[in-house]
Structure 1
Amino acid sequence: MFNSNDFPQPTMIAVNGVELEVFEAGKENAGNPIVLCHGWPEHAFSWRHQMPALAAAGYHVIVPNQRGYGHSSQPTDVTAYDLTHLTGDLCALLDHFG
């Protein structure tokens, strides 16, 4: 289990016209991705207990702060947060990781 001191460091990844702050565990399991998505008002850190267990089970765990959260881009137009944009971000993130 991660605590606040050893939670993975983020990487900023440009996808779908925004930059997402992305945390990863189990990078050695590339090709077997699982994406954990937080809701409002959560944050990627909410998945800190699940990330190590899923990595140990053989997954490449990818946990973005969705647009508008943490250090991810924060578009000003409310329509930039619709389901088309949010799912587009996740699809582009998976494309980024191949």
Structure 2
Amino acid sequence: MTSSSPGAATVLERQGTTQRYPEARVIVLDDDVNTFEHVVECLCKVIPGMNSDRAWALARRIDGEGRAEVWCGPLEQAELYHQQLGSEGLTMAPVERC
């Protein structure tokens, strides 16, 4: 709010900026250790909402392309899923910010 009269103070309105919470990708890498069945079992166990059909498709992509993004979302959850999958023996890429 401004006024053109002499001696009047100028009031600046605060502009809010919304910052998005950082997001990250969880990526599983291909290896010569884990079986398809183990990868599918781990994905279904750790990733919320993962079903067997989707897990098998991801396991085939990991095998065929050498890696696959298995989850993307808030950084804290990504770090948790990354740690859990790694502790199950899966070979993990570092968490990548989206």
| TM-score, normalising length: structure 1 | 0.30
Larger RCO (CA under 8 A, 6+ residues apart): 2
Give the number of the structure whose alpha-carbon radius of gyration is greater.
2
Please state which structure has a larger fraction of its residues in helix. 2
